[in-house]
Amino acid sequence: MASFTSKPPKIEIKYTQIFINNDWHKATNGKTFPVINPSTGEEICQVEEGTKNDIDKAVEAARKAFHINSPWRTLEPSARGKIMRKFADLLRRDIEYLAQLETLNNGKPVTNSKMDIMGAAACIDYYAGWADKFTGETLPTTSDMFLYTRHEPIGICGQIIPWNYPILMLATKLGPALACGNVVILKPSEETPLTALYCAALIKEAGFPPGVVNIVPGDGPNCGNAIVLHEHINKISFTGSVEVGKKVQEGAAKSNLKRVTLELGGKSPLIICEDADVNFAVYVAHEAIFHNAAQNCIAASRTFVHSKIYDEFIAKSVALAKKRIVGDPFDPATQQGPQINKSQFKRILNYIESGKKAGAKLECGGEKANDKGYFIKPTVFSNVKDDMEIAREEIFGPVMSVFKFDSYDEVIERANATNFGLVAGVLTKDLTRALKFVQELQAGSVWVNTYAAMKAQAPFGGFKQSGQGREFGKYGLEPYYEVKTVAIKLLSKM
């Protein structure tokens, strides 16, 4: 097991203020809030606390930046893409510092932080390429009419991101919005604002005009709600829980019917068929649940295993879970860091107790991994039943729940018996069977013989209460532009 350091590396915290109009500001209410290191439970620093007045200031700056004659709106589209690529290059340039800052604030292993930063840069690069390529159409009509469509930016976009992938989520939201020519007010999670604020400095360095990107840290009830309810914000993109997502949609409707994209929770199934290679299946299932300490909306938190290979799968999964290295996220050997905060830590341990009381068999883990910080040992439950709390609710922690099945029709029905529908995975060598699963599983993404195959060009989003709308890919642009129809009557010659 990796070490549990009580002294994280000394990292200079460069930015803790609100970023509006390419400048740094203190909160109008004069308040700050603490940012905590989840590896130790200790305070890192204080950050300015944005509220409604700060959102109003950001909106004022964004409205000026979106004016039809502003430097941003008059910029040639390929030049807009060039600025975006510059931002991506700066993320790569500062990857060492950003990775350490992300790990300090979020707790994920520093190697994972580096992967996230590279993924964020790739996402920005991908959407930079779209800046001069999303176009309208010339439409067929009568010979005396010229009929066509224009794609135009929607306006001010409010973007609310979670704490589990701070930099990656920032890029996911900014990329399509900026490619389409919009302006943005982004609220990072109050748990993990530090890398977003550093990215604000890189945004200014990249050459974005003032007011195009504004970053306001703060909590949900005050800062986030002010974004949702603001009459001059035209679009909301939110990633988080179903409970808050419903409030976002309600607030958007009550204010100005702003457009809403929601990426919410999941209780995703991974179905392992009898013909799957067991060693491969164990590895895929292990990473599918335990990656990022299972603080992952796509985590395979329901692992369905065919009865013919169930016992072998359990034995090998338990052995692998016991070998997983939990500890200091700055140690290159570490595979799993802490949960994000004390509240989540306690919530996960309560779910584990619930599973034990309900009759699931605790095969390993199920307890804290260190006296300091919010570390939990990788946990494996066998003999999990569909009606148990750990089978129905999103735990968002390192808990593998393994279910047994005999019939493929049965497991499809059980996999779909949830209010969620974000992703699903299937491991099988039978192509016909795989395609049946692809057709019948109710999920926005279905991965066959792999898991977490996320690509910037591949649309991502959920069915049912896992959300609405899509991010990534060409589909990710659609929520960020309006379609205008233009009809021109061709006058006959005099």
DSSP for 380-415, written as a single string = EEES--TTSHHHHS---SSEEEEEEES-HHHHHHHH
DSSP state of 475: G
Query: Residue 281 and residue 294: Cα distance in Å, rounded?
Result: 18
Which candidate in 49, 102, 191, 263 is catalytic?
A: 263
Sign of CA pseudo-dihedral 56, 171, 94, 192: positive
Annotated active-site residue 263? The verdict is yes
Query: Residue 421 and residue 298: Cα distance in Å, rounded?
Result: 10
261: which 2 tokens? Answer: 């994209």
Place of tokens 């409010």: 158
Task: Specify whether the CB–CB gap between 37 and 30 falls below 8 A.
Answer: no
Residue 205 main-chain phi, psi, to 5 deg = -65, -35
The contacts of residue 357 (CB under 8 Å, 6+ apart) are: none
The contacts of residue 464 (CB under 8 Å, 6+ apart) are: 418, 419, 420, 421, 442
The two beta strands, 467-468 and 259-263, are: antiparallel
Query: Residue 112 and residue 300: Cα distance in Å, rounded?
Result: 18
Task: Measure CA of the first residue to CA of the last residue in the chain; give whole Å.
Answer: 88
Instruction: Quote helix, strand, coil % in the chain, to nearest 5.
Output: 40, 20, 40
The helix (run of H) or strand (run of E) holding residue 19 is strand 18-20
The helix (run of H) or strand (run of E) holding residue 356 is helix 342-358
Helix/strand/coil for 261: strand
Query: Residue 197 and residue 213: Cα distance in Å, rounded?
Result: 11
In the beta sheet, which residues pair with residue 458?
Answer: none
DSSP state of 492: P
The contacts of residue 483 (CB under 8 Å, 6+ apart) are: 136, 149, 150, 151
The contacts of residue 336 (CB under 8 Å, 6+ apart) are: 109, 290, 293, 324, 325, 326, 327, 375, 378, 398
Burial of 92 (0-12, 13-18, 19+ CB in 10 A): middle
Task: Specify whether the CB–CB gap between 223 and 187 falls below 8 A.
Answer: yes
**Half-sphere exposure for 258 (CA within 13 Å, toward CB):** 29
Report, as residue numbers or ranges, the catalytic residues: 263
